[in-house]
Amino acid sequence: MTVEGIRVSRRWLVLREPADAAARASDLVEHLGRHLPATGRRVIHDLGCGTGAMGRWLAPLLPGPQHWVVHDRDTDLLLVAAADPPGPAADGAGVTVEGKRSDITRLRAADLADATLITTSALLDLLTADDLAGLVAVCAGVGCPVLLTLSVVGRVALTPVDPLDRRVAAAFDAHQRRTTERGRLLGPDAVALAVEEFRRVGAEVLVRPSPWQLGAVHADLAAEWFTGWVGAACEQQSELATETDGYRHRRLAQATAGQLAVTVDHADLLVLPRGQSV
Ligand SMILES: C[S@@+](CC[C@H](N)C(=O)[O-])C[C@H]1O[C@@H](n2cnc3c(N)ncnc32)[C@H](O)[C@@H]1O
């Protein structure tokens, strides 16, 4: 494929950044810290960086000088990532950022050869099985730790419950698994497959839950998430569009009033290459 593809909106990424930061499994960062070189500059390649939120979360949690190479196919998002770099490292050391327009499904191990760490966030569901196999092979070729955060696992819970929730959730998951010109997207199957593929190449994989727990203080994000969720479901199953008219209004009114609680389950994976087990 080319570097063109479905565009992710900057507004959506900015809106979700604080919830993402709160959800990521920070104990994996403690494990990770024990598997990075004790000294020297860390070179971190963030794949599918969007606006650079991963670096803004992780760089201040890791000590030592860091150089982040942030990859995305969307040049507008790369400009935002470069304009809003991460703060200093945990010990005050400097952090630099370099943007790279890349199609991450075409990267080779040589492109990431200087990496001491590879990261992704909210990316795996957008890949096909072949894309994921390629990514695992590249990471195994580089031989550094890999932190893959915030992959959806296909479980959402809305409170109060509504009889239409389950149908919309099923249609949304089917939309995530839709067939594109590149093949079928993995959607919520990505986590299980990634664990299997990384273990197949001899890596140790730690898995942690990283749910979004949205309540009254996240009313804007809950409403935006709900709109996208039900929209994708209706795109997948057109008959849902008329059936969900009242449901949409009800749910959006609840979200706006801070009366909708939403849990969106994700998983974070820390991959430690062969020979670097916990
Ligand atoms: C859901 S966003 C997540 C962005 C960011 N990692 C975050 O957590 O805020 C997915 C990002 O991956 C990028 N992306 C998706 N497929 C890609 C590909 N094949 N090559 C490069 N970037 C890709 C999109 O442009 C988008 O910025």
Q: Would you give the DSSP letter of residue 205?
A: E
Q: What percent of the chain has pLDDT above 90?
A: 94
What type of residue sits at position 72?
D
Q: Can the peptide bond before residue 273 be classed as cis, meaning omega within 30 degrees of 0?
A: no
Whether 105 lines ligand 1, by a CB cut-off of 6 Å, is yes
Q: Would you give the DSSP letter of residue 83?
A: H
Residue 87's pLDDT is 87
Residue 3's pLDDT is 45
Rounded to the nearest whole angstrom, what is the distance from the C-alpha of residue 188 to the centroid of ligand 1?
A: 16
For every residue of 105-165, which 3-state class applies, written as one string? HHCCHHHHCCCCEEEEECCHHHCEHHHHHHHHHHHHHHCCCEEEEEEEEEEEEEECCCCCH
**pLDDT, tens only, 113-153:** 999 999 999 999 999 999 999 999 999 999 999 999 999 99
User: Is residue 98 a contact partner of residue 69, using CB atoms and an 8 Å limit?
Assistant: yes
Determine the residue of 126, 128, 185, 229 to mutate for testing ligand 1's pocket, defined as the one with the most ligand atoms within 8 A of the Cβ atom: 126
Whether 8 lines ligand 1, by a CB cut-off of 6 Å, is yes
Instruction: HSE, CB side, 13 Å, CA atoms: give it for residue 185.
Output: 19
Q: What is the model's pTM?
A: 0.96
Element (H, E) at 177: none
**pLDDT, tens only, 145-179:** 999 999 999 999 999 999 999 999 999 999 999 99
Whether 236 lines ligand 1, by a CB cut-off of 6 Å, is no
Residue 274's pLDDT is 78
**pLDDT, tens only, 86-116:** 989 999 999 999 999 999 999 999 999 999 9
**pLDDT, tens only, 174-196:** 999 999 999 999 999 999 999 99
Minimal-distance CA residue to ligand 1 atom 4: 50
Q: For residue 6, how many other CB atoms are within 10 A of its CB?
A: 7
State the pLDDT confidence band at 1, using cuts at 50, 70 and 90. very low
